[in-house]
Amino acid sequence: MTDFCLTFLGDLGPLPGMRVSKRIAGLTGGGSDGWDILRTSRKMIGDGVDVVELTIGEHDRRTEPEILDEMDRAARAGHTGYAALPGTDALRDAIAARVTARTGVATTRENIVGTPGAQSALYAAHVAASDPGDTALFIDPYYATYPGTIRGVGAVARAVNAHAEAGFQPDARDLDAAAEGARSLLINSPNNPTGVVYSRETMDGIAAVAQEHDLWIISDEVYDTQVWKGAHVSPRQLPGMAERCLVAGSLSKSHAMTGSRLGWLIGPAEAMAHVENLSTHTTYGVPGFIQDAGLFALEQGAAFEARIAAPFCRRHAAACAYLSDRGVPVVASAASMYLMIDVRKTGLSGEAFAEKLLAEHHVAVMPGESFGQAAAGHLRVALTVDDSRLMDALRTLADVVEHLSAHAA
C-alpha cells in the first residue's frame, strides 16, 4: 500500500493545499541559512574554476588509514547489524575515561549516549532541555545551525550578543538580562567562528547566570583538542554545574572523522536515559563498525590527537603573524581551525567583501554575517588547505583589504 501511495502521489505531484509544517519551514527564521558563499564556490568549482576554498571546517588531511582499516575489519567481522543504541559499552567507557582525565569530573558510561555526530547531540540536548514554546538562549556569533536546531525542537531561539570590543567573550550581565523565563543556554568554547576560548571568568559568569535562572547549559566542545594558547574550561567542571550541563563532543575535529558521524552527549544519568529513548525514536544509534573504529581512534591517545591538530596550530601562528605584519586586524583567538578577520575598515560588510573576494579573486571565505550580527563586518577563514596555498590566499585577501581601505579612507 505504501509503495502504491508513493507512486500515485508522485504521478499527481503535490496535492492542492498540502504544506510542510511551520516548524520545518521556519528553521532558518525566514532568511538565509548562512551557506550562500559555499554554494556559490561549489558551483564555480563544478564549472571548472580553481577556487581556494576556506569555508568549512573540513580537514585537508583525511581520516587516517589505520582508523579506516579498523572500520573495514569491524564491518567484515560482522558488526553491521543494529548496534547498541546508546553506544557500545566499550566505546562509552573510553569516552568516559577520556572526559574524566581531561576535565577531572567523574564520568561513567551512564552519563553518555552516542550520537550521529555532535549536531545530533545538540538537537537531542535541546529536546531534553526545552518544551515547545520555551525560550532557548545562544551566543552570537554562533555556528550557523544553532538557531535552526533550537527552532527545530519547537523552542524560541533568543540570541545574546558577545561583542567584538570585548574579544567576543560573553558578558554575564547581558546573559542575565536575557535569561528571564529561558530554559537553556547554548555555548561553544573553543568557539566557532571566532576561535576564542572562553576565560575562567567568563565561564564563572555563565555558571552564575545558569544557577540564578535555573538554566540547562548546553556546551558544544568539539574543538577542545584545538587549543593553541591557555586552557579550555568546560562548564561541567565548575562547582554545582555537572547536574545542569549537557555537553556535546565528537571525533570529527579531534580525529579527522567528519564523515563518520560519531559524536556523543554527556549529562546526568537520568537525562541520558531519556536521550537514549529519544534515539530509539529518531536516529536509532550509530553503526557498530563505526563505533569500533571510534574506539580504536580513542585508544591511540593524546599524541594521535595532537598530530591531527598540529597543521592548524602551525597555520594559525603563521597566518596571525602575516596578517599582523600587513595591518589586517585579526580577532585575538587561541584555538580552532579558523581565524576571524575584521574588514570593517574597508567600508564593506563581511558579506559584500566575501562575495567580491570570490567573484574577482576566486578565494572563498565565510562572511561574519553567516554566524550572526555580532560578527558583521568580519570574515571567518578556515585554515583547511595546505600551507603554501593558504598563504597565497591570505596575501590576496590582505591586498584587497589594503586597496579597499585606502579608498574608504
Q: Which triple of cell numbers denotes residue 253?
A: 575535529
Q: Which triple of cell numbers denotes residue 189?
A: 568554547
Q: What is the DSSP letter of 110?
A: G
Res. 7 pLDDT band, cuts 50 70 90: very low
Chain mean pLDDT for the chain = 94
Residue whose C-alpha cell reads 573504529 in the numeric block: 293
Res. 14 pLDDT band, cuts 50 70 90: low
Q: Which helix (H) or strand (E) holds 188?
A: strand 182-188
> From CA 274, how far away is CA 214, in angstroms rounded?
20
pLDDT digits (tens, 9 = 90+) for 322-369: 999 999 999 999 999 999 999 999 999 999 999 999 999 999 999 999
Q: What is the DSSP letter of 340?
A: E
pLDDT, mean of residues 2-20: 54
How would you class 274 by CB atoms within 10 Å of its CB: exposed for 0-12, middle for 13-18, buried for 19 or more?
A: middle
**What phi and psi, each to the nearest 5 degrees, are found at residue 145?**
-85, -10
**Residue 303 confidence (pLDDT):** 97
| Amino acid occupying residue 386 | D
Beta strands 338-342; 378-382: pairing state: antiparallel
Q: Is 29 left (phi over 0), alpha (psi -120 to 50) or beta?
A: left
Domains of the chain from N-terminus onward: 28-57+303-402 (3.90.1150.10), 79-299 (3.40.640.10)
> From CA 327, how far away is CA 165, in angstroms rounded?
18
Q: Which triple of cell numbers denotes residue 105?
A: 569530573
pLDDT digits (tens, 9 = 90+) for 310-322: 999 999 999 999 9
